Amino acid sequence: MRRGLMLFSLILLILMVIFILTETLNTGGTSKEAQLFALGYRVEDQILLKQRFSDDAIQQIIKNHIHKDRLFPYLVHPYFNLHRLNQYEKARETLQLSPFASINYTHLPIALHFTKEDDPSPLPAPFKQTPLVLVNKQFYLESDFEPTDLVYLKDINVVVPGLHERNQLKREAYIALKALFQEAERQGLSLYVLSGYRSYHRQQVIYDQLIEANDDNRMISAKPGHSEHQTGLSVDITTPATNYRLTPDFEKTPEGSFILNYAHRFGFIIRYPKDKECITGYLYEPWHLRYVGKEIAQFIHDHRLTLEEYILYYVPIPESGY
């Protein structure tokens, strides 16, 4: 079967070469195929162009003298738009992005500098209702947004017992967190949930209190609608060793070390890692976990990425945004 396919492909290539040579001779070297050949597109490249682009688009490639070396790096992105090639190239050069990331940035500006507090144009959170929903200082959830599948935490240690809003997560995140806590318990460790889901109203109350106390708290507190807790996928955890407080000292405890080495195995990432403040917009929070699923969490952990970086470099964003 494989040998037959290889033979068919070889015959197709030979026929294409013969066609190009014939057309070149018959038209004095001005056929579409010949012009593409002059721009670096070999026979197999031209087959790909015909599969990917309309005849009008191919004519634009020829008219604008777009060489293969200029075009092909961008074709790894499924939503490449030929008419925006100059914008992709500008983003790539200016921000030192990969071709894939330059397309994502052009379609939806999630670059590494987009977390500025004074950004004049916040945008609705992309990938809403999925584990990749992106909420930060630029992307927000509406005041009436409430995640589906919210459940109260059962059989999990909580700092404030009872049916409180803070003791809720999306079901998928809860199941994963329960497994994580069970593994910690097997290792003789003690983890507690301080805060899970947080409604828009609750965010407003917390933010106003913190900013009134100290304006510098903007680096640790999100504006209403800009808190990941509203997704139902984020959770703040603590331990008796830190007197149930949220503190960077959590990383120095056995529980903190456990989270650093095990959280990704259960689908969680440390959402605001150390030395990534310029990307996330927040100070290091070893206690703040975000559920994204096991496969993505493992990848983010292995490559030392933030969620912003993962989406920018690896998740295809459509031309229309998301």
β-strands 123-124, 139-140: how paired?
Answer: parallel
Q: Which of 33, 228, 255, 285 is catalytic?
A: 285
Compute, in degrees rounded to 10, the torsion defined by CA atoms 88, 90, 94, 99: 30
Q: Is the dihedral of CA 161, 214, 241, 179 positive or negative?
A: positive
Distance of CA 317 to the CA centre of its chain: 9
> Coil, strand, or helix at residue 170?
strand
Burial of 42 (0-12, 13-18, 19+ CB in 10 A): middle
Burial of 13 (0-12, 13-18, 19+ CB in 10 A): middle
What is the per-residue burial (b if ≥16 Cβ within 10 Å, else e) of 286-313? Answer: bbbbbbbbeebbebbbeeebbbbbbbbe
Do residues 299 and 185 make contact, with C-beta atoms less than 8 angstroms apart?
no
Instruction: Answer yes or no: 44 catalytic.
Output: no
Closest CA to 115 of 321, 308, 299: 308
Give me the active site residues, please.
285
